[in-house]
A and B are shown apart, each in its own frame.
Chain A
Amino acid sequence: MSLSRTPHPVLECKDLCLSYFTRSGEVKAVVDFNLSIMPGEAIGLVGESGCGKSTVALAIMQYLGRNGSIVSGEINFMGQNLCAMNEAELRRIRGKDIAMVYQEPMASLNPSMKIGKQLIEVPVRHEGLSSEEAYQRAVRLLDEVNLPDPDMMMKRFPHQLSGGQQQRVLIAMALLSRPKLLLLDEPTTALDVTVEAGIVDLIRGIAKTYGTSLLYISHNLGLILETCNRITVMYSGQAVERGSIKQVFDQMRHPYTRGLFSSIPLPGADRHEHPLVPIRGQLPLPQDRPQGCYFSSRCDFAKKGVCDQERISMQAVAGKQGHVVRCARYDEIDWANYRPEGLKQPISKRGGEVLVVENMKKYYELKDRSLRALLKGGKTRYVKANDGLSFSAHEAETVAIVGETGCGKSTLAKVLMGLECATGGSIKVKGKDIAEVPVQQRNPQMIGTLQIVFQNPFETLNPSYSVGSQVERVLKKFGITRGRAETRRKMYEMMDLVKLPRAFATRKPRQLSGGQKQRIGIARAFAGDTKVIIADEPVSALDVSVQASVMALLSDIQHKKRTTLLFISHDLSLVRYLSDRVLVMYLGRIVEEGTTEEIFSPPYHPYTEALLSAVPIADTSVTKKRIVLKGELPSPSNPPSGCPFQTRCPRKIGSICETEPPPIRKISADHSIACHLEEDVLRKMEPVIELGKKKAAA
């Protein structure tokens, strides 16, 4: 390629080093970072939390904050060095030429201003448009990001929109002044998968429609695959591999990239045959990084004298244009013969029924205390959080409960735990009905049989007490042990069980990493004589390389103790990897139930089909059918008549869906679908996910 024909990059980061200066000294957040984005190109920046990807975005916006600064290197935007500009010049560029969309849509919109006013501000300020022209343009953009009734939208306040709509508004706002570069920092992390699929569709079209270049920051490799042309993988403040999507996804060269891909549950992974391989160890703190290659402390191929040399720079992969890797031994590693030990799970034979839920209902009364309601004496309305759930779970079985926000899975967990009482129906644990027994009236043994692992590792432990004492409290409370010495011994056994060093018992939660905290959470849940464990998204807040090991630990203990695991999740890849049976919930009802294999292959319930197609999969050989659901999740206080899914269903047949609740069609002994579609129509469905030829190991 001759130089003259190469267009100039929109953004170029050259040898960028960014540091934060804290009381304890300099923290090198980003080291020796290079990046160039061509016009109309979408670049993905991927890495785990703390790897510096958001710092890069903030540096581009020149928003590093008081204690952060650019130590060396430059950031050139359209040939101009952003670091050399003053505040006034930067203000002209920010929001106009470079725009950014953040993770939390609600926090990015001003809650006290109408959407319209916030949108108009941008072109009025940056381009001096009259407010009339600005209004027209804003309406047009809202239309282009597929928001219904843009004129009405302009008159609304942020809290009147759903999360997905808010994120669309923010994207529209970012595009208002036709920026040359759009930074997206985890824009869909806070959203449900079906909503995410819509946003991803929108983002994919941006570069083509507006010629805008994108920098897409995410920890989700599947999303990068769906939206970007090229990818940069970051680890501990450094870019470790860069290349086109195909190069990095199919022939990754860096051991870290490799590790990342083997620790995420791709289709084809199987906990019994092809288990996930977590990356051992932990991300080092910036001050503890090893000399030379930062990944060497966790790498199976690290070699003394090679990997610990002064500086390891990016080198081009021979014969692959644009593919660079920061590994001193990238062409020596024999990947074909690398068979790392995965966390293989033995197959556990399921036992008798442990938990039987029959026609369980949980309604919340909506109390309208307004004067008008009092005068009219209107009827009370109910939120039907759980509307007639029936299922059973066996000993040593993993049952996944899948569904999006508002489907009632958390309510189900609360009723099971006794924090709420069921409105009707029964819940039998080992034959004893506990549907209407609140936790205060359950005896310690009963409470101990039914425990929960929470989602958020940062909230699951009380920050004021040592983790050991928190496990001990549970042991004492459930009457498992008596006396100090015995309790302590048992607590140490629990620490061993979750594979944490005993010395950690005296640590406070803040001295533990997210994965370690979650291990303590697991220890706590298994402390009693536990028969049923509810795991509410136990790993969704953890980094992918840690997820695999925590999940493996959980199912390992489950196997040993023959516990029933109710695994609540929205991550279908993980569900497929981990569970024996799956329940798909929508608006408080079970719409499909079956073994994992039956759920993931046709026939599907139309909602399951949409869910499956929405899950981003980080595998280039997979082809997916794209189904993007229209509309919003209806409110559970005012559910649609007939079939709950009829308002968004792409396969709606007609008025019967609106008038009659769907019949339950038995496809096989375990598999049932609640849908009006005839059985033979269901059976004719095509698979959503098709695996291509399994690529040969690179």
Chain B
Amino acid sequence: MTETKKTEQEAEQEAGVAPQASRLLGLWRGIALLRESRIGMAGLVLVMFWIVLSIVAPLLPLIDPLQQYACCSQLGVGSHGEEGEFFLLGTDDRGRDILSRLVWGGRLVLFWSFFAMLVAYIVGGSMGLVAGYLGGWWDGVLSFFANVLLSFPVMVMYLLVITYLGGASGANVVFAVTFATAPAIFRIVRGLILDIRARDYVFAAQVRGEHPIRIMLVELLPNVRGPLIVDMCLRLGYTTITIALLGYLGIGLPPPSPNWGTMIADAQQFGHFGVNAMLWPAIAISTLVLGLNLFADGLREVSLRD
């Protein structure tokens, strides 16, 4: 009798402690796995570089990114200003420090692209869940809307949405990105859900009378997370490009706050003075996007292994 009680207690302890431990262990194993993928690691390093830089930007001894040094426009790499300021990457056409604008701009770009991607995922993902699981009428209507949106040229859609909403602003950028990418996310999620919605564990949930919303969020969603995480990484990269592009076109994040797309657009007008001011933001965009793509590739590679 006492013995059974003891085992019961032991089992209870095990059950209580183990889940958290196993979750941590799982994370550790995930990182260990990723270390085996060289491209994945390269991607992670690039992405982490920009993320860490954005986070610590306020702590860095950077020159004010908005400060215009009238004397010192279009300086080259490693020049000094009149009062001894040091411009590591030079200055732009209005005499602002490129390095500082790059770091602060990165902070902005990363924040807004992550936010826009997340909103697009919430909208497209929930539509995909509903269409995939409930099917029938829901699927018909939602798929029709998605197809209509997908048939617009993306560029036209951005212009329409942002000008309609009242011009350049962070919120409008998020709106535009959501409009343009939610249909694609919708299709991915819908396809993944269609694949697993006829599994027996879904039937088991239906048979014990679970609410459809619970089935979608608790039974289905966690089982498609793998491919979705990979897609999120890729999509974050695309969104970064989109935000830079919108900035370049002048309908993105409003000036004067620095962002990479606007930086390129500004520098381009004075291209005859040299490409320095254009080159750095371009490099920044490509390294971040490349990093995200490599990281997604690495994740996929690792997840496909046995």
Asked if A451 is at the interface of the complex by the 8 Å CB criterion, the answer is yes
Interface residues of chain A: helix, strand, loop or mixed (majority): mixed
Q: Would you call B201 and A506 a contact (CB within 8 A)?
A: no
CA distance A290 to B305 in the complex (A): 28
Nearest A residue (CB) for B223: A464
Query: Given A452-B207, A477-B210, A502-B11, A462 and B223 touching (CB < 8 A)?
Result: yes
Among A308-316, A436-444, A605-613, the one that faces the other chain is A436-444
Interface check A459, CB cutoff 8 A: yes
Cβ contact within 8 Å between A506 and B14: yes
Chain B, residues 188-203, CB within 8 Å of chain A (1/0): the string is: 0000000000011101
Please indicate the chain B residues that have their CB under 8 angstroms from the CB of A447 in the complex. 207-209
**Closest CB-CB distance, B24 to chain A, in whole Å?**
14
A463 and B223 in contact, given A22-B306, A439-B207, A502-B8 (Cβ under 8 angstroms): yes
**A24: nearest chain-B partner, CB-CB:** B306
Q: A462-B219, A463-B223 are in contact. Are A503 and B14 (CB under 8 A)?
A: yes
Interface 0/1 of A527-554, CB less than 8 Å to B = 0000000000000000000000000000
In the complex, are the beta carbons of A505 and B209 less than 8 A apart? no
Which listed residue (B12, B201, B306) contacts A462, Cβ 8 A?
B201
Range of interface residues on B (Cβ < 8 Å): 20 to 34
Asked if A328 CB lies within 8 Å of chain B CBs, one says: no
Interchain CA distance A474-B200 in the complex, whole Å: 15
B11 touches A454 (CB 8 A): no
Q: Is the CB of B199 within 8 A of A459?
A: yes
Q: Which residue in chain B gives the minimum CB-CB distance to A446?
A: B209
Contact A466 B19 (CB under 8 A): yes
Within 270-306 of B, Cβ neighbours of A (below 8 Å) are at 305-306
Cross-interface CB contact of A478 among B7, B201, B208, B222, cutoff 8 Å:
B208
Q: Give every chain B residue within 8 A of A503 (Cβ-Cβ).
A: 11, 14
Interface of B is mostly: helix
The residues of A that contact B208 with a CB separation of less than 8 Å are 447, 451, 474, 477-478
**Which residues of chain A come closer than 8 Å to B210, judged between CB atoms?**
477
A488's contact among B15, B22, B205, B219, by CB below 8 Å, is which?
Answer: B15
A249 in the interface (beta carbon within 8 A): no
Chain A residue, CB-CB nearest to B36: A23
Say yes or no: B8 contacts A506, CB within 8 Å: no
Beta-carbon contact of B305 and A23 below 8 Å: yes
Task: Report chain A residues within 8 Å CB of B19.
Answer: 466, 506
Given known contacts A462-B219, A468-B15, A503-B11, A455 and B200 CB-to-CB distance under 8 angstroms: yes
Is there a chain A Cβ closer than 8 Å to B55's Cβ? no
> Could you pull out 7 A-B pairs where Cβ atoms are within 8 angstroms?
A419-B206, A455-B200, A466-B19, A477-B209, A492-B8, A502-B7, A505-B15
Known: A442-B209, A452-B203, A488-B12. 5 other contacts (CB 8 A): A23-B36, A465-B222, A477-B208, A505-B15, A506-B18
Identify the 8 closest CB pairs spanning chains A and B, nearest first: A464-B222, A502-B11, A454-B200, A459-B200, A462-B201, A506-B18, A459-B199, A460-B200
Residues of B within 8 A of A (CB): 7-8, 11-12, 14-15, 18-19, 22, 36, 199-201, 203-210, 219, 222-223, 305-306
Which residues does A use to contact B, with CB under 8 Å? 22-23, 417-419, 439-440, 442, 444, 447, 451-452, 454-456, 459-466, 468, 474, 477-478, 488-489, 492, 502-503, 505-506, 524
